Structure 1
Amino acid sequence: MTPQDLSRQLFELILVVVARHAPAQPLQLSVDDVVLERPKNRDHGDWATSIALKISKPLGLNPREFAAELATELGGFEGVAGVEVAGPGFINVRLDAGAAGVLAQRIVEAGDSYGNGDLYRGVQMNLEFVSANPTGPIHMGGTRWAAVGDSLARILKSQGGDVTREYYFNDHGAQIDRFSRSLIAAHLGEVTPEDGYGGAYIHDIAVRVVAAYGQDMSVLPREEMQEVFRSIGVELMFGEIKASLHDFGVDFDVYFHEDSLHESRAVERALQRLRELGHVFENDGATWLRTSDFGDDKDRVIIKSDGEAAYIAGDLAYYLDKRERGFERNIIMLGADHHGYVARMMAMCAAFGDTPTVNLEIMIGQMVNLVRDGVPMRMSKRAGTIVTLEDLVEAVGVDAGRYALVRSSSDSQLDIDLDVLGKRTNDNPVFYVQYAHARTCAVARNAEISGVNRVDGFVPELLIHESESQLLGVLQEFPRIVAQAAQLREPHRVARYIEEVAGYYHRWYDKCRVIPQGEDAVEDVHRTRLWLNDATGQVIRNGLALVGVSAPERM
Structure 2
Amino acid sequence: MSNLIQSAKSQVAELTQKAYERAAAAGQLPGGLEVGGSVEIPKDVSHGDYASSFAMAGAKAMHMAPRAIAQTLCDHLDLEGSFFDKVEIAGPGFLNFTLGSRWYGQVIADVEREGARYGESDEGHGEKVMVEFVSANPTGPMHMGNARGGVLGDTLANVLSMAGYDTWKEFYVNDAGNQIHKFAVSIDARYHQLILGEENFAFPEDGYHGDDIRELAQAFRAEHGDGWLEKSEEERQEAMAQFGLSVNVPKMKEDLRRYQIEYDEWFFESSLHESGYVRETVEMLTQRGWTYEKEGALWLNTTELLKEKYMREGKTREQADKLDLKDDVLRRANGFYTYFAADIAYHRNKLEKRGFSKAVNIWGADHHGHVARLQAALDGLGLDGSHRLVVVLMQLVNLLQDGKPVRMSKRSGKAIALHDLLDEISVDAARYFFNSRSSNSPLDFDLDLAVREDSDNPVYYVQYAHARICSLIAKLAEEGAAVPAAGDVDAALLVQPEEKALLKALSMLPEEIRLAARDYDPSRINRYLVELSGDFHRFYNACRIREEAPALRDARLKLADTTRAVIAGGLGLLGVSAPEKM
Q: TM-score, normalised by structure 2?
A: 0.87
Bigger shift: 456-465 or 139-148?
456-465
Which amino acid letter does the alignment assign opposite residue 166 of structure 1?
E
* Secondary structure of residue in 1 paired with 2:387: coil
Alpha-carbon distance in 2 for matches of 1:146, 1:316: 23
Q: 5+ unaligned residues in a row in structure 1: which ranges?
A: none
Contact 2:298/2:331, CA 8 A, preserved across alignment: yes
Q: Deviation digits for residues 134-175 of structure 1, max 9, x if unmatched?
A: 011111011100011000000000011111111111111121
State the partner residue of 1:322: 350
State the partner residue of 2:319: none
Q: Deviation digits for residues 357-390 of structure 1, max 9, x if unmatched?
A: 5311111111112111122111223343201111
Q: Deviation digits for residues 386-443 of structure 1, max 9, x if unmatched?
A: 0111122111110001100001111111111111111101111100000001111111
Q: 5+ unaligned residues in a row in structure 2: which ranges?
A: 308-324
Q: 1:287 aligns with which of 281, 298, 319?
A: 298
Q: CA RMSD in A?
A: 2.8
Q: 2:231 aligns with which of 205, 208, 220?
A: 220
Alpha-carbon distance in 1 for matches of 2:332, 2:208: 28
Contact 2:18/2:77, CA 8 A, preserved across alignment: no
Bigger shift: 293-302 or 405-414?
293-302
Alpha-carbon distance in 1 for matches of 2:461, 2:555: 25
Alpha-carbon distance in 2 for matches of 1:371, 1:157: 33
State the partner residue of 1:300: 328
Q: Superposed, which structure 2 residues align to 1:56-455 within 5 Å? A: 71-74=74-77, 76-78=79-81, 79-88=83-92, 90-187=94-191, 188-189=193-194, 190=198, 192-213=203-224, 216-295=227-306, 297-324=325-352, 325-455=354-484
State the partner residue of 1:458: 489
Q: Superposed, which structure 2 residues align to 1:14-33 within 5 Å? A: 15-16=17-18, 20=24
Q: 1:10 aligns with which of 12, 35, 39?
A: 12
Which amino acid letter does the alignment assign opposite residue 505 of structure 2?
V
Which amino acid letter does the alignment assign opposite residue 420 of structure 2?
D
Contact 2:431/2:575, CA 8 A, preserved across alignment: yes
Q: Percent identity?
A: 38
Alpha-carbon distance in 1 for matches of 2:560, 2:209: 53
Q: Deviation digits for residues 284-328 of structure 1, max 9, x if unmatched?
A: 544333333343523333223443323321122111111121100
Q: 2:541 aligns with which of 510, 513, 526?
A: 510
Q: Deviation digits for residues 332-357 of structure 1, max 9, x if unmatched?
A: 11112111112212212322234345
Alpha-carbon distance in 2 for matches of 1:343, 1:162: 26
* Secondary structure of residue in 1 paired with 2:433: helix
Contact 1:136/1:383, CA 8 A, preserved across alignment: no
Q: Deviation digits for residues 239-284 of structure 1, max 9, x if unmatched?
A: 1111101100111111111122222111222223333434334445
**Distance change >3 Å, CA 177–CA 290, structure 1 → 2:** closer
Contact 2:473/2:561, CA 8 A, preserved across alignment: yes
Q: TM-score, normalised by structure 1?
A: 0.90
Residue 578 of structure 2 corresponds to residue 551 of structure 1? yes
Contact 2:47/2:90, CA 8 A, preserved across alignment: no
Which amino acid letter does the alignment assign opposite residue 10 of structure 1?
V
Contact 1:49/1:91, CA 8 A, preserved across alignment: yes
State the partner residue of 1:482: 513
Residue 536 of structure 2 corresponds to residue 525 of structure 1? no
Alpha-carbon distance in 2 for matches of 1:323, 1:62: 55
State the partner residue of 1:48: 51
Alpha-carbon distance in 1 for matches of 2:514, 2:428: 23
Question: How far has the Cα of 1:103 moved from its partner?
Answer: 1.6
Alpha-carbon distance in 2 for matches of 1:144, 1:338: 15
Question: How far has the Cα of 1:25 moved from its partner?
Answer: 6.1
**Distance change >3 Å, CA 396–CA 475, structure 1 → 2:** same
* Secondary structure of residue in 2 paired with 1:411: coil
**Distance change >3 Å, CA 224–CA 46, structure 1 → 2:** same
Alpha-carbon distance in 2 for matches of 1:448, 1:303: 71
Bigger shift: 193-202 or 61-70?
61-70
Question: How far has the Cα of 1:544 moved from its partner?
Answer: 0.6
Q: Deviation digits for residues 193-233 of structure 1, max 9, x if unmatched?
A: 31122233223333333445478545434443322211111
State the partner residue of 1:492: 523
Number of residue pairs matched by the alignment: 546
Bigger shift: 284-293 or 545-554?
284-293
Which amino acid letter does the alignment assign opposite residue 387 of structure 1?
I
Alpha-carbon distance in 1 for matches of 2:59, 2:222: 77
**Distance change >3 Å, CA 536–CA 35, structure 1 → 2:** farther
Which amino acid letter does the alignment assign opposite residue 465 of structure 2?
A
**Distance change >3 Å, CA 534–CA 227, structure 1 → 2:** same
**Distance change >3 Å, CA 82–CA 313, structure 1 → 2:** same
Contact 1:134/1:170, CA 8 A, preserved across alignment: yes
Alpha-carbon distance in 2 for matches of 1:322, 1:8: 38
